[in-house]
Amino acid sequence: MPVTPTRRSVLAAAVATGAGLLTGCSSANSGSSSPKKGGTLSAAFPGAGVKETMDPHAQRQFVDIARHKAVFDKLVELDSTLRPVPRLARSWSSDDEARVWRFELREARFHDGHVLDADDVLYSLSRILDPDAADHLAKNSLSHVDLANCRKVGRRGVEIALTRPNAELPSQLAMTGTPVVRDGWDDPSKPVGTGPFRFASFTAGLGFTGRRFDDHWNGAPHLDEVRILSAESEARAAAVRSGEVHFAHEMTPTFARTVAHDGRVRVVATKRSGVQGFALKTDRAPFDDPDAALAVKLLVDRKRLVDVVCAGRAEIGNDLYGKGYTYYPDGLEQREQDVAGARRLLRRTGLYNKKVTFYTSTAADGFAQAAHLFTEQAGEAGLKVEVVNGPPESYFTDALSKGTVTNHRCGAMTIPTYIGERLLSDAPQNQTAWKHEDFDDDFTAARAEVDDEKRTARYRSVQTTLRDRGGLVLWGHPEWLNAVSRTAHGVKEAPPNTVDWARFDTVWLD
Amino acid sequence: MLHYTLRRCGWTLVQLAVLSLVVFLLTDLLPGDAATVDFNEQAGLDQVAQLREQMGLDRPLVERFADWAHGLLTGDLGTSLVGGGPVRDVLSSSVPVTAALAVVTLVLLVPLAVAVGLLTGLRAGSRTDRTVSAVTLTLTSVPDFVLALLLVGVFALRLGWLPSTWVGADDVWWQRPELFVLPVAVLLARTVCVLSRQIRAGTVTALHAGYTVQARRLGVPPARLVLRHVLPNAAVPGVQELARTGDQLLGGVLVVEAVFAVPGTATALVEAVQNRDVPTVQGLTLTLAAVACLLNLAADLVSHRLAPRTEVLR
């Protein structure tokens, strides 16, 4: 079946290809030198126009999160394996039930001179959980914080009480929408944080400028100034190649191929930075029968999907989220394409030669392409697929309720967060409509387990259940591609939303 | 002429009122709404419902339109559903950018097109005419985005003479004339070609018209003949074409704004439609439509002035 490219993909490919033809070849420069002080770094991220905000609790887009990361800090961040690492919180511990947590704060200074204290943390939590703030994203994942019983312990100790046990609280405090703000602060037009850059200016849809904060608790940044700009993919590609920006976020495999021999730019590729897959609705026929879902898992040709949709820049998935992350259940046999086995299961479940609807859209690169490839592969096994295109602007919200099969993708987050937000009966983004009380109980028990080994074993069991009986067909773990100019150094490979991602305080220019 | 102008202005107001209603209805018919789009891939249905209520999208369509129309009558274009700021702020940040591009383009367009049109028209059939006509025909056939990407590839990426995009220009774009070069070149390429071909055709016709032949017989000098008799008549179709060109330019020329990341009205309008931000879509559409109507009115009046025999005023 033909695959229709989008206007944007055509333009991006054309920029990359045209530019490739017109520029000379030279060897790639991975770049390393001893850090130098000074300079202004410009970084381009996909923009979101007037939606962009400097309210760190209303984070929506990567461009927002990158800007907030420059100005604010979190108590905790995640390392590249999605394990919590200290930031404003120097250390933490919990009671035996993981119901009361104590965080010790480090001595950090806000840009206005105020020294971080427990009141700032308690205020930040109450602001995040403001019931009237519909756009505060972390309020769901932190809804079990018992604000009334949270308290300060001395000047730098904070006790966070929970309404239910949760061994994952530190990780959840590292997710998007959780930066610490100054006690009483509520003016996004004048952001004041403890981050490595002071706020200088911001225009939604255009750019942000931050200036070096010399009193940052982790040491002053190398740069004098950082500019975080908004730009669509074609503009990012051209701007980073022409040297107008030093860093371009979220580039395509086509771009990476084009600049492979361009000495002016190098691509920093972070492996396993999320997941791509298909979501089968398990609350309705035919995928309320786990065997029907298993048939789909067997019929897909994961390698071909990776090769075509991700241009080969992905690791093959095993219907499990978070390959390489903490709690990923290693050692499970890789699921391979088994058309004969799939056909047997389709016959047994009465699905052979029947039709299902695939609700897709151009909401993300490769979605429509993946849907059409799936249609071909399903056809080989005897499952007919009708592809229906939906509007990209609201696709992810629509896909929560529409379609029998839908596209699924997810960026980097901890495995418990992924399950908690997508696979519990009351999860806000339960795209597979996976609603099983016993599963919820197993997951809740795992999350409450304070012993690391036991918790890991319980999570393994939960994930195995999902892999065998759930509605997620996770076929690939794509690389995350950023472009860096040869004059910029210190940019590390890091999955989005982790501590070294979009981190410009440790970057320097020639 | 005054009566005609007033009548046209009245009709323009009616057109704008109808347009605003149609745009409102069409935007409402699009799948999804501002709340759904705003939280796409970010939150669950409960949070979407809460946001929808906060945005007032749970109110009936008629009530929402009446509110907006009432605001308009009192000079208030409303508030963006997505950004939360006044729609006039979106207009004040995007319209000047597109207007600046359009003005620079128009200022260069007219003399260029007249020069090329006269050059080829006065020497119709010559080698110059054939060569220039071949170039203009070719450029007319090249899609804007192809030309834009080629220019970016050569002048920004290869030679490094000019910026490839407006990324990072912020709100000081007017202090950086180099930003205008490539977008204006793309905007000019097609428009100069189309307009000059119109003027060329008009020139050829006017050169063979009875009044020109008679003037030549009476010994009118060639320069005066061209300026007084050929050009005014040759320019009439050109003026109408110029009005159409103005429409396009003020519409933002989507491709040019997209390729060069120009934060103009077309970019703002596309973004507002994608966000289902109805008040912003309304504000931008009405502004662009009003300007387009004024341009067309101006073109009709200028055409009449140049050649009173045209019948636009009847």
Contact B41 A232 (CB under 8 A): no
Asked if A206 is an interface residue toward chain B (Cβ–Cβ < 8 A), one would say yes
Average of per-residue pLDDT across B108-134: 88
3-state secondary structure A344-374: HHHHHCCCCCCEEEEEECCCCCCHHHHHHHH
DSSP reduced 3-state for A148: helix
Evaluate the CA torsion angle A388, A394, A400, A406 in order and state its sign. Answer: positive
Residues on chain B touching A135 (C-beta within 8 angstroms): 38-39, 47, 51
Residue B252 — very low, low, confident or very high, per pLDDT cuts 50/70/90?
low
What one-character-per-residue DSSP string does A397-462 give?
HHTTTS-SEEEEEE-S--HHHHHHHHSSTT-TT-TT----HHHHHHHHHHHH--SHHHHHHHHHHH
What one-character-per-residue DSSP string does B240-272 give?
HHHHHHHHHHHTT-HHHHHHTT--SHHHHHHHH
Evaluate the CA torsion angle A448, A449, A450, A456 in order and state its sign. Answer: negative
Q: Examine the pLDDT at A345 and tell me if it is beyond 90.
A: yes
ipTM, two decimals: 0.76
Of A2-6, A46-50, A371-375, the range with the lowest mean pLDDT is A2-6
Q: Examine the pLDDT at A151 and tell me if it is beyond 80.
A: yes
Average of per-residue pLDDT across B103-129: 88
Angstrom distance (rounded) from CA A506 to CA A33: 13
Longest dimension (CA), chain A: 70
Report whether A475 contacts A323 (CB < 8 A).
Answer: no
The A472-478 sheet, strands edge to edge: A314-316, A472-478, A275-280, A405-410, A355-360, A384-389
Average of per-residue pLDDT across A257-262: 90
Of B146, B259, B271, the CB nearest to A49: B271
What are A253-258's contacts with CB under 8 Å, separation 24+? Answer: A253/A310, A253/A311, A253/A312, A253/A313, A253/A481, A254/A12, A254/A13, A254/A16, A254/A17, A254/A311, A255/A12, A255/A16, A255/A481, A255/A483, A256/A313, A256/A481, A256/A483, A257/A16, A257/A311, A258/A16, A258/A17, A258/A19, A258/A20
Instruction: State the burial class of residue A134 (Cβ atoms within 10 Å of its Cβ: 0-12, 13-18, 19+).
Output: buried
Could you tell me the CA-to-CA distances from A167 to A84, A170, A407, B26, B216 in Å, in that order?
12, 8, 31, 50, 97
Could you tell me the CA-to-CA distances from B227 to B100, B203, B303, B304 in Å, in that order?
30, 11, 16, 17
Average of per-residue pLDDT across A473-477: 97
Q: Examine the pLDDT at A106 and tell me if it is beyond 70.
A: yes
Chain B, residues 132-161, CB within 8 A of chain A, namely 145-146, 149-150, 152-154, 156-158, 160
DSSP state of A317: P
User: Nearest CA to CA, how far is B47 from chain A (Å)?
Assistant: 6
Joined tokens for residue B250: 């003020």
In B, minimum Cα distance to A411 occurs at: B41
In A, minimum Cα distance to B257 occurs at: A235
**pLDDT reported for residue A198:** 98
**pLDDT reported for residue B248:** 65
User: Nearest CA to CA, how far is A140 from chain B (Å)?
Assistant: 9
User: Nearest CA to CA, how far is B60 from chain A (Å)?
Assistant: 21
**pLDDT reported for residue B81:** 86
Asked if B265 is an interface residue toward chain A (Cβ–Cβ < 8 A), one would say no
Report the mean per-residue pLDDT for chain A: 91
Residue B79's contacts (CB-CB under 8 Å, 6 or more residues apart) are B85, B86, B87, B279
Average of per-residue pLDDT across A80-85: 95
- Residue whose C-alpha is closest to residue A292's, from A332, A370, A344: A344
Per the listing, tokens 């099983």 go with A436
